[in-house]
Every structure is written in structure tokens, then in C-alpha cells.
Structure 1
């Protein structure tokens, strides 16, 4: 049979495909903007008759239909590789859990460690003339999912951008068990909020550290996006991109003529990413664009890959940090907020890069729901807090009050440097806390 005949032989309705899921199964929903839509709705229609279904996914950009059923915890649990706000609410409702990870290792988890998916179901691009169905903006770990899944069901979406890449960015129709032609929903959008004055102050301190020819990685959030906007308006040139998540800011920088990748020692001329999520502007830009390159996260986030790229600049956020430099980018105490993602991968890789730097940025303080101002720099992390980056890994810390390099500093030097960029309202108390913790000495500064 030719590829078109193979394709037609595997067509099924969403209800027919969802019928293969059994109680006790592990089901994989893929990743972010590639989560299934028609298949999810079909599974929700029969979830009431199932129990102990275990579903993996991550970065929900819309509320899955299965989340809306009555008493979801009686029928399934959601296991997330990276939490969005939607998934945080599901944790509070008792049917969602976080999977701790180092993102670069995720494909290996599927291939070597975790229970293989009984069923994988997620969205892909339409089949090309050679019989391949592209993973679109979600190369990430999806080939590892497909290789290990007992049944692979793909939902075709004609609105998904086709992303060129190296390896593990598409699957041949012969390797697929069932194909559902969905309703072709528009790609879910994730826009960044307008940068605050604090975001812009932090961004200015970072941008002045970036040389021409540098290679950029931006994390999720307003502050990294503020850096991107400032770069787009700067005089920088010959920049490259090698990132975990491709966001709108990269499109703005590229359209401003700042990105050409000419100085990259590997993947020259290509903007490399593991997955992409943003607005329609982003999806239109990456669609069949040879300037961008989708790749598995085991490649993009491997510190050995990052280390090969000179002047690598990694820019990420923190929830809070303590006076020794431990970074928490995942939780508020015991309440889960986000995930480890690839932050540690890029912190390590950027430092290994010749001329590379990693920046952890945050506002010095924030107002709680009660309106009270609280410091993001704390004496010790709250009980239950995750340590995303250990104190030995932190390179540059940046707040609106300055930037400090923590490499090689003793405990008292670290405390002094960190307090120097804390909000002024909290510095005296932080000094007292440092004295109590025996990590302070009076200096001449």
C-alpha cells in the first residue's frame, strides 16, 4: 500500500479511538499546545465508566474536558511534567500531581524508567507526501512517547504549524495505530503580560551583559520577555537562539534583524527549540520556516550541547531564594506553582560555555493577596520549598536593585552580595537573619 492507503486504513472517529482506553491504563496526552482536543472530549464522555486511569501531560493551555467531569479523582489522575495555572487548580482539587524532572532527561525516562504508555494521544500536523506526521511545535519528548507506547493515536490539526528540525520531530504513518481527523481548532495562545517597571529595570541590567554574537535562552514569564523586547530595540547584532521554549520575544528580536545565528558553532543559522508556545504571531513565524529548528529536549537542554555554544546567555525566573543562594522556581512552600523544567540544564550549560553566563532574575519583593509587601529573598526557604538550583550553581542573581555574581563566594560573602540586591525595606532584617544563621561578618562596605 502507498502512504495514502495506509493513512486511510487507520482513520477512526474520536469515540472509536477513545474506546481503546481501559481502567488502569497509563495514557499520554503529549505536551502543551499539542494536547488532544477531539480525543480528550471523547475520553471525557466515557471516563465515568473507567477508574484508575493515569494520564501524563504538561503545561495545559486550556482546561481539558476530562477535568470537567463529576468527581474526576474517582476515575483518573493527571501527572504533569510542568504545571500551568490550570494544573495548579487541579492539584488543589485532588486529582493532579507533579512529576519532578530534569527536562533534558525526559525522553530517557520514557525509554528506560517509567511505565510505558498504554495509549498515546495528541495533536499533530497533517501527513506530508512522504507519509510523515510532524509534531509541530512540540518535538520535546514525543518520539520517546511514541516509541514506548503500546497504542499510538494521532489527532490531525490543519492549523498546527509544521516545524522543520533534525531528528525526532515527526513519525511515519506506518508507526501509528489510529488517526483521528479532528475539528482543526485554532492553536491555543499563551501571551506574555506587559512588563512592569521592575521587569524593565532587571532587563536593562541583563541586556548590558550581552555581547554581539551571543546565543540566547529565555525562560517563561514577563521578565525574560522584557529582556527580549529590550534586545529587539538594542544595537546588538548577530545573535543566536538555542532554547527550551520558543516564545514571542524571539520573533520580535528576529523581525528586528538581530538574529541570524552566524556566530553559532553548532546549528549555525538556526534558532533551535524543544517546544514553542505563544500567540498567532509565533505560530505563523515558525510554520515551515527554515530559520527555526525543532529538536528533542534531550538535545536542546543537554549541558554538553549548550557548552559547545560560545557566549551562551541563559535568562530565567525564580519564585524566591535564600541567603546561601538556593533558588526555588517551582513552589510557594508546599504549594506547587510551576516545575523544574530545564532551568538547571541551562544554568549548568551556560556556565560551561566559553564566555557564557546564566542569570536568575526576580523582583526583590512582591505584594501578597493581603496587600502586604514581602521579600523574595528569605533567610531560609520555607519548609516544603523545592530547590531548583543549588547554591553552588547560581551564577548571576539580578533584581531591580542590581546584579551580583555568586560564583566562588564564601557563605558570608554570598549573604552580603545577595542582601545588597534585596529590597531596602528588608535589608536590616536580612542582616539580622544572616547573623543568626552565622553567615555574616561586618565588612568595610
Structure 2
């Protein structure tokens, strides 16, 4: 009963909660599908009262009222750790800034470097013991709460309650204001795999062993891998992944997953955040088969490497002939973010029997119908190096798999060019010769 009374005392309208934000404040909106909507709308109405309010979020999936009210960032400056499609559009119109990270370090950024004047986080309803659950966005929520001077919870009964893990809850005694909301949890449909994605997946699946521990990144190709696993004879697989997606539900229901061979968290599906359709949210709700942990555990390469036969599968945008990988930008246009790709590239490779794959289609066709290679002599001008060449192991396109570990520049060039679309290989060889990374005896 004491918690019910405290709940009532802290329950306020969105307009009242928004008044906690002052000029000059840093405000955290949370992550992924668990971000404020009603307090955001209330804060937007205060545009004419405020100055220099800085907002942080991660992968916004629904429109931001503060940006709609202030598209030129005269009052509200919007910053994001990992862009969604919506965030890219905001950046294109000059309404968003990007924050680079190494994902497993992110809770430490809050502890050591970042100011949080007001945190506004979406959570599940309070339980009988006074705890609210961070739902599908556990990754850094606890770190944000612990750093914030003022904590506002936007309580939404539609959010799934997830099992821990660790750091998946906040107690009513730690918060200042409660606002009740009832918006639908944003659904992120699976990206449909292309024919090339399916070809890539068909190359990776035979390399996976029974008892392997799987991490899948976002996109059509990782979903294609998950779909093929669900149709395969692979068994006793485990999951240790930053992002939980619909493909894992398919694999679980097909009987591929039981986690029996994991060295850590045996029997548990471990993740730090989830984005998908209602199939994912319904699966995770109160499900003891899954455990959500903060990202400084899930993505720590020292933790990842302790899972034997760890298999990390991620996408990239382009790769150059040196083996440098760009997974987050096209030129100076930020597309997504580093995310946990670096974490799992390192951790999977260092795992006993582990495998790290960075995959992409070899080319793409633009709106004018012209084909372009994703394999280039140099990364596009301004493109970000997400994974340096020294960390890259397996590169995959629809034309094969090449391991770059320990390879010289000429061996890398030869291997990478073999993965290119045939239309571009001769030009890439000429470029490699000009760069002095092509040996005369190399295959043509």
C-alpha cells in the first residue's frame, strides 16, 4: 500500500512533468521503442519559454514533437546515438546531430562524462514491490537514471515486461514524477531479404555448428540467416545478441534454440534491447527463457569471447581494397551508427571456435537504374571507418566468403575483389595496381 500512495503523490500530468526542464538542460529521452511521447509533446509546447535545451535519444522510431515545433533547433538541439530512418530524415533537414560510441562503453559515458539534468523514460506499470520495468530498452536505462538529477517515468501498459538479467528495473523511490500514457508500442517490420541476402545467408549457414551461440545485427541479411536457421537442422543453439529481433522467435519456435551449450547464462536468450513486431514483444513479455542485461555486460568483448563457438553476423555499407569497413555512413551522410558491430567483431573472433562475419550485397542499383559496387578502391569520401582493417575477419557477399586475418595487402585485394560483382572486377584490379597492392601473379 505504501507504494500505491507514493505513486499517487508522484503522479502528474505531462504538462506539469515537462516544467521540470529548464533552459540549458541536458534531457535524455531513452532508447528505441521505449521513448517518451506524451511528455515530449508537452515539452514542445514550452518552446517559447526555454533556451538551449539539449536532447539525447537512441534510434527514434516515432515523430518528435520538439523537432516539429522547432525544426531549425533554435531552442531544442536533438542528438542521437544511432540513427533510424526517421533520424536520417531529421539529419537531412538539419534537425539532428550524431553521437559516436563504442556501444559496450556507453553506460560508462553517463557515469564519467555526460550530464543528465532530466531523464524521461518510458516504462511498464509498477509491480507490487514498487518497481517499474525498462521493457525492451534495458541497454543504458539504468545508467541514465543513476546520473539524472530529475527522473520522469512515462508509464505505458502496452509495453512488455521483460525478465532480467540485470539493470532492468527502477524503483519508485528513485524517481521524481510519473506520467501515465497509452500509446501503441512501435512495430519495426522485418526488412525483406533480397535474393542476394538469401544467397549470402546460404553461404553462412553451413559454417555454423550445432551448439553455436548466435548474434544477429539489423537488416534483411541477418533476418535471412535467422529464417534459414529456423528451417535448418541446427540444434542446441544459444543466443547472446545486442538486438533481439523476430528471427529469434522463429528459431525458438522451430526448436533450434535451447542455450544448453552456452558457457555463460546457460539456457537463456541474452540481449540488451529488442525491436520488432508484436511477435517479438509478446514473446518477451514475462518470458523466463529470455534475459535482458545492460549493454556493458552484453556487448563487452570480454564477456562475448567467453561463449564458445560465438557467431557474430552483421551488415555493412561498403568496404575498400584495404579491408576497411564502413557500416554506418555513405560519405558524410550518417545512415545508422557503430552500434555493437565493433564489440561483436572483436568478441566473436576471440571466442573459442568463434566466427565473425561482416556481410553485404556486392552491389546496388540506384533509382536511375545504374549499378554501383559496394567494394571500392577507397571508401567514399567522408565515409566513416566503422571496423578498421586490422579487426576484420570474414567478409561475405553473394559471391563467397573471404577471411582477411593475417593477410597482406595484395592477398586482401585479391580476396576482396573476388567478392565483387563481376562487372566491376577488372576496374578494381586496375585500381589495386595503381595502389601497389596487386601482385603480378594474382588471379584475374
TMscore range, shorter length: over 0.9
Mapped to 1, the partners of 2:397 and 2:162 lie a distance apart of 36
Mapped to 2, the partners of 1:399 and 1:166 lie a distance apart of 35
Mapped to 2, the partners of 1:247 and 1:444 lie a distance apart of 42
Mapped to 1, the partners of 2:51 and 2:11 lie a distance apart of 27
| TM-score (norm: length of structure 1) | 0.98
- 1:167 — aligned with what? 166
Higher mean C-alpha deviation, range 187-196 or range 247-256: 187-196
- 2:73 — aligned with what? 73
Alignment of 1:3-402 (within 5 A): 3-114=3-114, 116-182=115-181, 184-402=182-400
Mapped to 1, the partners of 2:427 and 2:442 lie a distance apart of 19
Instruction: Indicate the SS of the match to 2:132.
Output: strand
Per-residue CA distance 1:385-415 (angstroms, 9 max, x = gap): 1110000111100000111111110000000
Asked whether the 8 Å contact 1:33–1:187 carries over to 2, the reply is yes
Asked whether the 8 Å contact 1:66–1:72 carries over to 2, the reply is no
Q: Shift of residue 72 of structure 1?
A: 4.1
Asked whether the 8 Å contact 2:71–2:95 carries over to 1, the reply is no
Q: How many residues align?
A: 443
Give RMSD over aligned pairs: 1.0
Q: Shift of residue 22 of structure 1?
A: 1.2
Q: Shift of residue 218 of structure 1?
A: 0.3
- 1:426 — aligned with what? 424
Instruction: Indicate the SS of the match to 2:170.
Output: strand
Higher mean C-alpha deviation, range 154-163 or range 45-54: 45-54
Mapped to 2, the partners of 1:166 and 1:173 lie a distance apart of 20
Distance 1:406 1:71, change over 3 A: closer
Mapped to 1, the partners of 2:213 and 2:51 lie a distance apart of 47
Mapped to 2, the partners of 1:444 and 1:12 lie a distance apart of 71
Q: Shift of residue 37 of structure 1?
A: 1.2
Mapped to 1, the partners of 2:266 and 2:120 lie a distance apart of 34
Per-residue CA distance 1:244-281 (angstroms, 9 max, x = gap): 11000001100111100000011001000010010000
Asked whether the 8 Å contact 1:77–1:95 carries over to 2, the reply is yes
Asked whether the 8 Å contact 1:124–1:136 carries over to 2, the reply is yes
Q: Shift of residue 70 of structure 1?
A: 4.4
Task: Point out where structure 2 has 5 or more consecutive residues left out of the alignment.
Answer: none
Asked whether the 8 Å contact 1:124–1:154 carries over to 2, the reply is yes
Asked whether the 8 Å contact 2:217–2:315 carries over to 1, the reply is yes
Task: Point out where structure 1 has 5 or more consecutive residues left out of the alignment.
Answer: none
Q: Shift of residue 377 of structure 1?
A: 0.3
Counterpart check, 1:440 vs 2:433? no
Mapped to 2, the partners of 1:187 and 1:88 lie a distance apart of 21
Q: Shift of residue 4 of structure 1?
A: 1.5
Mapped to 1, the partners of 2:138 and 2:71 lie a distance apart of 33
Asked whether the 8 Å contact 2:246–2:280 carries over to 1, the reply is yes
Instruction: Indicate the SS of the match to 2:39.
Output: helix
Instruction: Indicate the SS of the match to 1:226.
Output: helix
Higher mean C-alpha deviation, range 266-275 or range 66-75: 66-75
**Runs ≥4 in structure 1, deviation > 3 angstroms?**
none
Asked whether the 8 Å contact 2:324–2:389 carries over to 1, the reply is yes
Mapped to 2, the partners of 1:382 and 1:49 lie a distance apart of 43
Higher mean C-alpha deviation, range 260-269 or range 50-59: 50-59
Mapped to 1, the partners of 2:434 and 2:71 lie a distance apart of 48
Instruction: Indicate the SS of the match to 2:241.
Output: strand
Asked whether the 8 Å contact 1:76–1:95 carries over to 2, the reply is no
Mapped to 2, the partners of 1:189 and 1:400 lie a distance apart of 29
